[in-house]
């Protein structure tokens, strides 16, 4: 699979007159090589040219790279005793980038790697590779979609296992920790960050972190979690009522549920990304809550929990079969509570499929 991805990368490089692409440990490196690594003080950097692939890599990582790589890679290993300069010296004997057009993912590369790359090839011409990788990764194949479908099932099964344990008096952090454990129990292979569990007035903060606050009767409770299966993300949000909630909060919930439904219904091949945002946002605006919808309607989903494209006014990319993203409208009333309902969507040949299928009706716990 990575061989085909490398071929596609080189096709895109040729179209854009790019001589080389530099990639640090990231989703992009995993996508192209099958090797999952993390950024650290030990510099690791891949260079992909039109006909070669090189990797500057710490010696202690060589065995792992060799066992997991899915494409030919020329390794330039360096030890802690010699430090990374030995890797660059090895690369210099094999490759010159001076005067070349080199693309780097500006969202991933650090000043550390960028400065070393510039010292290696002072006359290279730098450009941003983020749009290039978005083009490669936005459309998923059958195996990628299946991994995301499985991740969605893990999330939904773990929520169902968690719900009987949720009650007034439990702290957000306690619920979040338990949910993480249940994700692993139900088949997640990665949970890079703690889920969001937000209750009462905290639920009016879209990107809050779970706190020591104990949930109370009358609260809205947002559960927003994500996990990976085979490296691919599922991402879900469901909002619950704890006991009786006010008529106002119930009306907000029904508004967001209708907006979620409208957003999902708007997903068809050849629609524009911004059309999904417009469909969901119109429901919320017409209900009088437009100013309380504080974020985009959705974001791309795949090897990263946030990637291209965006369901947002101004994103005029055309939806194509295989594109995957979230639809997650929300309304947030400061001091009172918030509602968000999030689903994972894949564009199909004749419409869309929601990878998350659990009920969107208000559940009272």
Confidence at 333, pLDDT banded by 50, 70, 90: very high
Residue 214 has what pLDDT? 98
Whether pLDDT at 1 is above 80: no
**29-81, pLDDT tens digit by residue?**
999 999 999 999 999 999 999 999 999 999 999 999 999 999 999 999 999 99
Residue 58 has what pLDDT? 97
Q: How far apart are the first and last CA of the chain?
A: 45
Confidence at 265, pLDDT banded by 50, 70, 90: very high
Confidence at 5, pLDDT banded by 50, 70, 90: very high
The CA distances from residue 332 to 88, 96, 224, 284, in Å, are 51, 54, 15, 11
**116-152, pLDDT tens digit by residue?**
999 999 999 999 999 999 999 999 999 999 999 999 9
**88-105, pLDDT tens digit by residue?**
999 999 999 999 999 998
The arithmetic mean of pLDDT across residues 169-173, rounded, is 98
Whether pLDDT at 108 is above 70: yes
Tell me how long the chain is.
365
In whole angstroms, how large is the CA radius of gyration of the chain? Answer: 23
Residue 192 has what pLDDT? 85
Confidence at 193, pLDDT banded by 50, 70, 90: confident
Cα–Cα distance measured from residue 250 to residue 262, given in angstroms and rounded to the nearest whole number: 19
Cα–Cα distance measured from residue 234 to residue 146, given in angstroms and rounded to the nearest whole number: 11
In terms of C-beta density within 10 A (0-12 exposed, 13-18 middle, 19 or more buried), how is residue 75 classed? middle
The arithmetic mean of pLDDT across residues 192-213, rounded, is 95
Query: H or E stretch including 330?
Result: strand 330-333
Cα–Cα distance measured from residue 274 to residue 223, given in angstroms and rounded to the nearest whole number: 26
pTM metric for this prediction? 0.94
**Domains parsed from the chain with CATH numbers:** 2-137 (3.40.350.10), 142-364 (3.90.230.10)
Please work out, in degrees rounded to the nearest 5, the angle formed at the alpha carbon of residue 113 by the alpha carbons of 111 and 114: 60
Residue 2 has what pLDDT? 78
Residue 44 has what pLDDT? 97
Please report, rounded to a whole number, the percentage of residues in the chain having pLDDT higher than 90: 97
The arithmetic mean of pLDDT across residues 312-325, rounded, is 98
């Amino acid at each position: 699979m990575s061989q085909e991805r490398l071929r596609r990368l080189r096709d895109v490089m040729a179209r854009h007159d790019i001589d080389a692409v530099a990639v640090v440990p990231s989703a992009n490196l995993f996508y192209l090589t099958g090797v999952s690594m993390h950024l650290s003080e030990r510099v690791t950097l891949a260079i992909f040219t039109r006909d070669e692939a090189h990797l500057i890599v710490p010696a202690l990582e060589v065995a792992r790279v060799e066992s997991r790589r899915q494409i030919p890679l020329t390794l330039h290993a360096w030890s802690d005793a010699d430090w990374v300069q030995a890797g660059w010296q090895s690369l210099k004997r094999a490759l010159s980038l001076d005067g070349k057009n080199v693309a780097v993912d500006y969202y991933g590369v650090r000043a550390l790697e960028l400065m070393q790359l510039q010292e290696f090839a002072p006359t290279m011409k730098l450009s941003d590779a983020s749009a290039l990788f978005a083009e490669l990764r936005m459309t998923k194949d059958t195996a990628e979609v299946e991994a995301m479908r499985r991740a969605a099932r893990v999330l939904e099964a773990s929520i169902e296992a968690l719900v009987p344990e949720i009650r007034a008096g439990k702290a957000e952090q306690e619920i979040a920790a338990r949910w993480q454990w249940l994700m692993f129990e139900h088949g997640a292979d990665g949970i890079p960050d703690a889920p969001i569990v937000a209750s009462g007035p905290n639920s009016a903060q879209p990107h809050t972190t779970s706190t020591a606050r104990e949930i109370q009767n009358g609260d809205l409770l947002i559960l927003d979690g994500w996990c990976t299966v085979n490296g691919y993300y599922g991402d879900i949000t469901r909002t619950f009522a704890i006991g009786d909630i006010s008529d106002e909060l119930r009306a907000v919930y029904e508004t967001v549920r209708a907006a979620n439904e409208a957003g999902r219904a708007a997903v068809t091949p050849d629609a524009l990304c911004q059309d999904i945002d417009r469909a969901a946002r119109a429901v919320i605006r017409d209900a009088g809550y437009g100013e309380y919808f504080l974020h985009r309607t959705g974001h791309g989903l795949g090897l990263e929990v946030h990637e291209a494209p965006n369901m947002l006014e101004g994103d005029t990319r055309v939806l194509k079969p295989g594109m995957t993203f979230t639809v997650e409208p929300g309304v947030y009333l400061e001091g009172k509570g918030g509602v968000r309902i999030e689903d994972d969507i894949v564009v199909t040949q004749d419409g869309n499929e929601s990878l998350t299928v659990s009920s969107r009706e208000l559940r009272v716990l």
